[in-house]
Amino acid sequence: MLQLSDNDLQKQGLVISVANNLLKFYDPDKVAIEVVAFGPGIELLRPENANRNRIESLVAQGVRFDVCLNTVDTLERETGKRPEFIAAATPVQVGVAQILLLTENGYTLVRP
């Protein structure tokens, strides 16, 4: 499981290349990769993000990208407008709670 909580182009690129490297290094049937984006990290999953094609390609290969609805709700309260996300993103209620759940289920958390 990969965590993204920064809105930083270099971090976004690093998360995506780590996911690609793990897909190449492991037997795809034996590794499950899930990226959890929360806080400023959710910018990765906006429709206008420059990495959109690479994300959609990873999702087609079985990688899951989660977007934290708690962060989305906070942004909506602060800006008066609900931000949109790509259809390839999976909504989860609280990003950090998703991290705890996956950890309990044997995932290892890495924050590139």
User: Which parts of this chain interact with its own copies (CB under 8 A)?
Assistant: 3, 5, 10, 14, 17-18, 21-22, 25-26, 38-40, 70, 74, 93-94, 96-97, 99-100, 103-104, 108-112
Distance of closest approach, residue 90 Cβ to its own copies, in angstroms:
17
- Number of Cβ within 10 Å of residue 109's Cβ equals 12
- Closest CB to its own copies among residues 87, 108: 108
Asked whether the beta carbons of 67 and 98 are under 8 A apart, the reply is no
Distance of closest approach, residue 40 Cβ to its own copies, in angstroms:
7
Query: Closest by alpha carbon to 85, among 35, 47, 54, 34?
Result: 47
Distance of closest approach, residue 5 Cβ to its own copies, in angstroms:
5
Q: Which residues pair with 47 in a beta bridge?
A: none
Whole-number Å distance between alpha carbons of 29 and 18: 17
- Closest CB to its own copies among residues 2, 45: 2
Asked whether the beta carbons of 1 and 59 are under 8 A apart, the reply is no
- Closest CB to its own copies among residues 14, 86: 14
